[in-house]
Amino acid sequence: MSKIRIFLFLIVIVGIGAFAYAKVNNSQKGIEDISNEGGPTKLEHPLSIEYMRSGEYPGSEITIEQTLGAGSNYNRYIASYKSEGLKIYALLTIPNSTTPEDGWPAIIFNHGYIPPAQYRTTERYVAYTDGFSRNGYVVFRSDYRGHGNSEGQASGGYGSNSYTVDILNALASVKKLKEVNPDKIGMWGHSMGGYITLRFMVVSKDIKAGVIWGGVVASYPDLLNNWRRRNPTISPLPGNTSRSWRVNLVKEYGEPEQNPEFWNSISANSYLSDISGPVQLHHGGADHSVPPAFSEKLHQQLKDAGKESELYTYSGDDHDISANFVTAMNRSIEFFDKYLKD
């Protein structure tokens, strides 16, 4: 073989190798993209609103696992449904009077952070669910994955979309109940559950009204820079430090000022023009777990986006709005009645 042929042969071999390497390298990068200013950013990160909008959340038929003692005018059950193949438990209440022809209005109830290993379906938020249940609503409170007897790993609320996915599947499951009017569903959330509620309402159009108490409703840049929790149990990643999700995201995507595109893409606050319905916000003025400023800022952002928003602050009250519970509950019920019943 001549030297020219050998030289050409080597060029071909090197070219094939370079092509193969590039193809493998690109496949490993997946959806990674290099922005002009912010460095590497993954478009459609699992936390991004667009990524969540593109998903499928079929839910399942709801299974009654256990009949509990009845409430004043409603029946109570431990139920289960499917989310990404996982069996998720939930508290279900249904009014015990004659079902309206078009079904009862329903409230998807999103609880705040409770250590997953300590969580029990029948404990916590008893007075809260009772307030809605005895006023003519089907109530469905998902445990979330990894909580109590629910399958799966509890991954935390802010560094993973898992809990929001569980609620998206919970909604699809509730809509299958014959007792429920699928066009009259609202959502209530407390603390971390408020974060889930806000995200849900910009991902899906199915929630007609949302009520949030003491909600973690700030943008990710605000969560990163303006949330110094005095109560470290409010929502850490189980088995990890409370700052792991912050450290991991900053390490991979840079600070918000370096990579605003990414941080905006995962913040529900960037999509308020798409919110599915009016929002009512409640916050204790002495809340040491979640700053009242989060609700105040969201209220103004919703107004600026031309959306309906109500804000109630309770001077001197705590994260659970304990001192003004009856007032806040009555306002919440009236709000849901206005948009789900009238």
pLDDT tens per residue, range 47-66: 999 999 999 999 999 999 99
Number of domains in the chain: 2
Same domain, 86 and 2: no
Same domain, 136 and 256: yes
**What are 306-311's contacts with CB under 8 Å, separation 24+?**
306/273, 307/272, 307/273, 307/275, 307/278, 307/279, 308/277, 308/278, 308/279, 309/278, 309/279, 309/280, 309/281, 310/278, 310/279, 310/280, 310/281, 310/335, 311/280, 311/281, 311/283
pLDDT category of residue 229 using cuts at 50, 70 and 90: low
Name the phi and psi angles at 301, rounded to 5: -65, -40
Residues spanned by the domain of 57: 33-341
Q: What is the pLDDT of residue 43?
A: 52
Residue 118 sits in a domain of what CATH number?
3.40.50.1820
Length of the chain measured in residues? 342
Render pLDDT for 2-50 as a digit per residue (tens, 0 to 9). 555 554 455 545 454 444 444 334 333 333 332 334 433 445 899 999 9
Percent of the chain scoring above 70 in pLDDT: 83
Query: Are residues 303 and 250 part of one domain?
Result: yes
Q: What is the pLDDT of residue 20?
A: 43
Residues 159 and 121 in one domain: yes
Q: How far apart are CA 340 and CA 39, in angstroms?
A: 45
Q: Is residue 94 within 8 Å of residue 170, measured between CB atoms?
A: no
**What pLDDT, on a 0 to 100 scale, did the predictor assign at position 10?**
52
Tell me, yes or no, whether 116 and 131 share the same domain: yes
Average pLDDT over residues 100-119: 96
pLDDT over 50 at 215, yes or no = yes
Q: Do 259 and 287 lie in a common domain?
A: yes
163 and 47 together in one domain: yes
Average pLDDT over residues 145-166: 96
Strands (E), 215-301: 279-284
The verdict on 185 and 302 lying in the same domain is yes
> Can you say how many angstroms the Cα of residue 80 is from the centroid of all Cα atoms in its chain?
19
63, 79 in Cβ contact below 8 A?
Answer: yes
Same domain? For 11 and 155 the reply is: no
pLDDT at 263 over 60: yes
Statement to judge: residues 217 and 259 lie in one domain: yes
Is 293's pLDDT higher than 90? yes
**Beta bridge pairs of residue 83:** 86
* Tens-digit pLDDT profile for residues 110-133: 999 999 999 999 999 999 999 999
**What is the pLDDT of the chain when averaged over all its residues?**
88
| Helix or strand holding residue 186 (H, E) | strand 180-190
Q: Where are the alpha helices (DSSP H) in 228-324?
A: 244-253, 260-265, 292-304
Amino acid present at 125: Y
Residues 271 and 206 in one domain: yes
- Give the rounded percent of residues in the chain with a pLDDT score beyond 90: 81
Closest CA to 127 of 266, 341, 320: 320
Q: Do 148 and 238 belong together in one domain?
A: yes
The packing angle between helices 126-133 and 325-336, to 10°, is 40
Indicate the pLDDT class of residue 237, thresholds 50, 70 and 90: very low
Q: What stretches of 68-165 adopt beta strand conformation (E)?
A: 74-83, 86-95, 104-110, 138-142
Neighbours of 337 (CB within 10 A): 16
The answer to whether 217 and 294 have CB atoms below 8 angstroms apart is yes
Tell how many helices (H) and how many strands (E) occur in the chain.
10, 11
Distances (CA, A) of 9 to 13, 136, 163: 6, 80, 56
Q: Which residues contact 158 (CB under 8 A, 6 or more apart)?
A: 192, 195, 216, 223, 235, 245
pTM of the model: 0.85
Model pLDDT for residues 312-321, shown as the tens digit of each residue: 999 999 999 9
Average pLDDT over residues 103-111: 98
CA-based torsion, 168, 172, 174, 175: positive or negative: positive
The confidence score (pLDDT) of residue 245 equals 87
